A and B are shown apart, each in its own frame.
Chain A
Amino acid sequence: MNWLKNIINIWFYEIKNALFDEGAVVFFIVVPLLYPLLYAYLYGNENVREVPTVVVDNCNTLTSREFLRRADATADIKIVGHCADMEEAKEMIHQREAYCLIYIPEEFDSDIIAMRQATVELYSDMSGLLYYKAVLGGCTEVSLDMNKEIKAMRLPGATEEQLSTFQYPIEYQYVPMFNTQSGFATFLIPAVLMMIIQQTMVLGVGMIAGDEREKHRKGLVDPHLIGKRPHEILIGKSMVYFAIYAVVAVYLVCIVPPMFHLVHIWDWRALLAFMVPFILSCVFFSIAVSALAHDRESFIIMFVFLSIPLLFASGISWPASNIPHFWKAFSWLFPSTFGINGFVRITEMGARLPDVMPELAALWIQTFAYLCLSFLVYKRTYREQISA
């Protein structure tokens, strides 16, 4: 039972080490605690509403003013100015006083009266896709409503139902599932949470490993490691990181999303069965890559910038079906890729465990592969250190 004693011994020593190391504690505790709050606060509005819009109404009749009044009343659009011509309107957009432009041509009303198709032209500043979506969505909504009324006027005596059947022989309805308001926070935060787990763990573990290596170069070895075998050190240390992140994950997964009213319809057993291999694969991945940590700090520089490409490689934003094979294979090296997809589908889309089987299997494979790699890393590191 000596090995068990050794492991427990290492566990207690290392957890103190991890929680009292001022650098590691930033990554293990402070960042996971604060970053999600900041992100959720930032994206709290979920969507852009009331996008400042200028109008050029060359028609200026009852109908055109009615169109604009209704556009202004939508949640998407807020009319901030009426301009005499396009030049003036463009100038307002260039001054960032408005992001979109609604242009109603002179013949708008006469077209309607003459039963020709009337056109409303929309322009959007292309610095953000959401402006485009807002002005197009808002004006389309208004035009559909007004079209219905215009047709009612043209077919006096027709019932609402007859009109509707004439307009839409086949009616259609759109059902956004799970993330029902297509919100930005709901889409991005779950992915960010998983990325935070992986990246902070890599940085914290790398910092501790870099520190040990620096001390070793100066001839210092932590006395409690002497006489321990590499696999005992590996089990002891990995269980420390697992324990810390079990707590962090409960906070990130169970407390943060409800706090910001994000969709969370999960089955807790599926979530538990998924999060355990995710955290384990992150633990062994962190230990394996900590072999690259030559000193405490340089490791941070090498790993932080990767967070952004990894978020994109996961397929949460740019769809996985359109990621080139090379980058897809690259993304499979990281637990975050599978963690993000499985987590989003379980917590937001109500997936059960069998639905995320490929991701789950990948995480267990990663856990095993990185466990083997970690063992080799520790064997090399500590044989050197302890025999020294």
Chain B
Amino acid sequence: MSSISTILDIAKREQKRLLARPVYIFSMVIAPVIAFIFFTTLMRDGLPCELPAGIVDDDNTSVTREVIRNLDAMQQTHVVAHYGSVAEARKAMQEGRIYAFYYIPKGTTQLALSSKQPTVSFYTAPSYIVPASLEYRDMKMMSEYASGAITRATLYAKGYTDAQAMAVLQPIRCEMHAVNNPRLNYSVYLSNTILPGIIMLLIMQVTIYAIYVEIKEETSKEWMSMAGNDVVKALTGKLLPHLAIWLLMGALCLVWLYGLWHFPLNSGIWPMVLNMFLLIIASFAFAVFFCGCVPSLRWALSLATLWGVLSFPISGFSFPQMAFPDPLRALSYFFPLRHYFLIYVDQALNGLPLIYSWQDIAIQTAFLILPLFVLGRLRKFLMEYHYTH
């Protein structure tokens, strides 16, 4: 009984400390909420539309104007300007006004009508990879369509039906099925992992700050003596209020993504609640582990910062892990966000039974062992170390 009341006393002490400093309120509540709002409203369209594109139409016939009108009518492409030459369009691209342009040389219509096979071109700037690939898709589709329209006209004249004409034009057709994200919504790709990632990064940083600021302000002995110099009790009591706040923020994140924005949730909410819970716990485990590795607020914080920021690319939600070099593929297993992402894919995205995610759940849980390696050291640090400028 007494150990529970000890822990609760330390928790109350921590609660006062959390309320006393703006840095806690900022980083535990304001920062995550800003991040939630930022990412979901930034990518609220799901797929960027009406991207600026240019036209160089040297031919300028009713046929080419029709092609341009059709291109402009496509969802992702918006024709913002006509340029006199390829050089001008290229310059507009270098000025960042357009991501792509379509070039129709002089005589295209006439050559096409006399079966001389003219060539049109489209140029994109893949340094801006997302808009460039979307406009590429539209322009390619437009080119296929324009070409096909002429051939189809010939075939219809010969009495072919629609289906027959398509079979002649394109004997084999590839049909793509984007299961569970048919619109290729980018926010579903990114926000689903970035938002929990920001929670993870902030947990690691805030936890380390909260533990080591005690050494800095020379209150760590007082804290430890409240716990009877038992580091487990001291940490449990201290981190209890943190856990409560982060669980609330985690819940808010899930409500935000699946309740408010209706992102795919094919597993039901409970597996994702488990996933978020494990991420939060694993982040605490890493924070305590980093504290035990280096007895200095600024070094432990730097370590957590590097680890936390590296989590984003290495979890593989944008550039897939299978394309990493081998050492980094191996390293990726040591990042809680990597496992969160994999569990999310199995559960919310693909709606598989929970058993499919057992390995990631097991590893995420196993991270809880990490603090055990350093408890002795941490106790010593908290009892003996002094902050140095």
Instruction: Show the binding face of A for B, using Cβ within 8 Å.
Output: 22-23, 26, 31, 38-39, 41-45, 47-49, 51-52, 67, 94-95, 99, 111-112, 115-133, 135-136, 139-140, 143, 146-147, 150-151, 154, 161, 164-180, 182, 184, 186-188, 190, 207, 211, 214-215, 263, 294, 296-298, 300-302, 304-305, 307-309, 312-313, 315-324, 326-327, 341, 344-345, 348-352, 355-356
Contact = CB atoms under 8 A, between A and B. Distances in A.
A143 B169 CA distance: 12
Contact of A45 (B150, B308, B323): B323
A310 to B, nearest CB: 10
B373 interface: no
A63 to B, nearest CB: 9
A319 B77 CA distance: 12
A94 B320 contact: no
Pick the most buried of B21, B26, B322: most chain A CB atoms within 10 A of its CB: B322
Contact of B48 (A31, A131, A321): A321
Nearest 9 Cβ contacts at the A-B interface: A172-B143, A298-B23, A351-B94, A319-B131, A169-B150, A322-B48, A182-B126, A127-B345, A117-B167
Nearest to B352: A94
Contact of A127 (B50, B118, B216, B317): B317
A352 B94 CA distance: 8
B131 A321 contact: yes
A161 B355 CA distance: 57
B303 to A, nearest CB: 10
Contact of B51 (A151, A165, A319, A351): A319
Given A119-B175, A122-B177, A140-B174, A179 B127 contact: yes
Contact of B117 (A99, A170, A356): A170
A56 to B, nearest CB: 13
A31 B131 CA distance: 30
B41 A324 contact: yes
23 contacts: A47-B323, A120-B172, A125-B179, A126-B180, A128-B320, A132-B184, A143-B173, A147-B171, A170-B117, A170-B119, A172-B122, A172-B140, A179-B129, A186-B126, A187-B127, A187-B129, A297-B297, A298-B23, A301-B26, A308-B35, A309-B39, A318-B43, A319-B128
Nearest to B188: A126
Given A165-B117, A169-B151, A300-B301, A319 B27 contact: no
Nearest to B117: A165
Contacts of B173: 117-120, 143
A51 B202 CA distance: 34
Interface class of chain B by DSSP: helix
Contact of A172 (B120, B128, B309): B120
B312 interface: yes
Contacts of A179: 125-127, 129
Contacts of B255: none
Contacts of B298: 22-23, 207, 296-297
Interface residues of B, number: 118
A169 B112 contact: yes
A26 B294 CA distance: 15
Interface of B: 21, 23, 26-27, 31, 34-35, 38-39, 41-45, 48-52, 90-91, 93-96, 99, 108, 112, 115-133, 136, 139-140, 143-144, 146-147, 150-151, 163-164, 166-181, 184, 186, 189, 194, 197-198, 201-202, 205-206, 209, 213, 216, 297-299, 301-302, 305-306, 308-310, 312-314, 316-320, 322-325, 328, 341, 345-346, 349-350, 352, 356, 389
Contact of A301 (B96, B172, B205): B205
Contact of A130 (B39, B95, B320): B320
Contacts of B352: 94
B310 to A, nearest CB: 7
A67 B23 contact: no
Contact of A345 (B94, B116, B318): B94
B317 A187 contact: no
Contact of A143 (B95, B122, B172, B319): B172
Pick the most buried of B309, B310, B312: most chain A CB atoms within 10 A of its CB: B309
Contacts of B144: 172
Contacts of A321: 48, 50-52, 131
Contact of A170 (B35, B146, B189, B213): B146
B176 A177 contact: no
A185 to B, nearest CB: 9
A130 B147 contact: no
B202 A301 contact: yes
A209 to B, nearest CB: 14
A350 to B, nearest CB: 7
Nearest to B90: A177
Contacts of A51: 322
B124 A176 contact: yes
B118 A350 contact: no
A98 B116 CA distance: 45
Pick the most buried of B42, B143, B147, B352: most chain A CB atoms within 10 A of its CB: B42
Contact of B129 (A125, A171, A184, A320): A184
A2 to B, nearest CB: 30
Contact of B122 (A31, A47, A171, A175): A175
